[in-house]
Structure 1
Amino acid sequence: MNCKEHHLPELELSTGQVREALQAILYTILFIRSPGPVTPRDVECEGFNLTYPRIASDKMSSMPSAHSALDSNVDKKVDDGIGSFLMTLSQIGPELLSGGLTISFFERRATRQLFGLVSNEEKVIWEQWHLRVVVNNTPRPVSDDSAAVMERQRIQDMAEGMLRSALVKIFEISGGAIDHVPPVMYEFEINCSKKADDRENVYSRVANMPSLINLSN
């Protein structure tokens, strides 16, 4: 089975926005990839003027396990994934950190070797969603003058627009072909990476550049 890969638009968020934004993205993906009938629950973001769907917890507990893509530890997996992401961020600038997050869907298949005498379990990944996030630790202006208010609004609008674009992309992808989605129970996992992107490479080259020669002498 070929693995289908999706790359979501990159996000740039302030430190206090990261957890809620990642929750919105991860729970939305888990909702649209849950097989069988599910009951949606709309979640209103506290830090963004956005609403995202997730599976209602009361419905999850009553669904037969064979029809659920999410186990009872779904919240723990999401929280642990976000926590791992925050721990694996790498420096790309004086106030900038960057990291990658991938949510993978897979099924477990039993395979036999040595003429069927030995049985092994194989994890087959059939879909992955990739997201790069830049975390901006630059302190926000806190005064009440018009310039500070406008700057805070600009930062908020930019982050909210990026998150909205990512959510729209998820729903656009969900409306596409689904013939790669297996008709059996499957699981998910969340992984993080510190793979350098172009900006990290540029920052590294600039940081390690030798001092300029003084031509005035």
Structure 2
Amino acid sequence: MNCEACQLKELEVEHFEIREVLRCILHTIVFHRALGLVRPKDIDLELFEITYVQCGDAELEKKIDEKIEQFISWVDKHPNKKSQICLSFYEVKSKQPSWFTNKIERLYWEQWYINLNVTQHPKAHSGKFHHSKIVVDPGESASEERIARRAALEASLREVLFQIVKFVNEKKDHVPPITDATHFPYEITIPSSSDSAFGMDMFKRMLQTGHPTMLS
């Protein structure tokens, strides 16, 4: 089966930016692969002058947030490491029953690789930058550097969003027939605590996962 893969541009983020950046990227991808009737919901990022669209599905939001929290926990245990999250879409097929098993098989048709480099910067958790867009503080010597870094990240995040839209518009032949579900079955894979690296290890783990979960 033809499986298309998209490697998104690596983003250099600070710890407190992870949640918003990942929500923006993951929801944008899923929205562009949504089926049937969705209730689009515009979301304004707190840290950046960017608006993205969610599907308006509470269960989907919950599942994405749970994966993001798991990823943040992994980052806390592996500081200053580059990392990768994989969002995969698949079809569900029943394997031929054998003497021992009657398994469900996942046939992957699209995979998105989100690449993050989580860095530590002085005053990274300053309240001025936590819950608001860029604020100039004359008393903070590093403010100009931080503003420039935030502007660069915002520009890079916009590039990633355009990269997603471009890929979706150009790559269509591999998309399976539309089903009566709201979304294609999907999974989000994050590094495990035992990983010394990401990439093939994560891919192997992904292929060994059990029964799929369908969105309601």
Alignment of 1:1-217 (within 5 A): 1-57=1-57, 73-89=59-75, 91=78, 96-114=80-98, 119-140=102-123, 144-145=138-139, 147-183=141-177, 184=179, 185=181, 186-193=184-191, 194=195, 196=197
* Alignment deviations for residues 66-100 of structure 1 (CA, whole Å, 9 cap, x no partner): xxxxxx631222112112222223757xxx33211
Cα distance change, pair 119–91 in 1 and its aligned pair in 2 (3 A): closer
* Alignment deviations for residues 26-55 of structure 1 (CA, whole Å, 9 cap, x no partner): 000000011234332211101111011111
- The question of whether the paired residues in 2 share the 8 Å contact of 1:99 and 1:195 is answered with no
* Unmatched tracts of structure 1, length 5 or more: 58-71, 198-217
Task: Point out the structure with max Rg over C-alpha.
Answer: 1
d(CA) in 2 for partners of 1:195, 1:37: 42
Higher strand share: 1
Q: Structure 1 length as normaliser, TM-score?
A: 0.73
Code of the residue aligned with 1:130 in structure 2: it is: Y
d(CA) in 2 for partners of 1:38, 1:114: 40
Q: CA deviation at 1:104?
A: 0.7
* Alignment deviations for residues 107-147 of structure 1 (CA, whole Å, 9 cap, x no partner): 211232359x9743211111110011011121238763474
Code of the residue aligned with 2:86 in structure 1: it is: T
d(CA) in 2 for partners of 1:15, 1:146: 20
SS at match of 2:25: helix
Identity of aligned residues (%): 31
Aligned residue pairs total 179
Code of the residue aligned with 2:62 in structure 1: it is: K
Any runs of at least 4 consecutive aligned residues in structure 1 with deviations exceeding 4 A, and if so which? none
Q: Structure 2 length as normaliser, TM-score?
A: 0.73
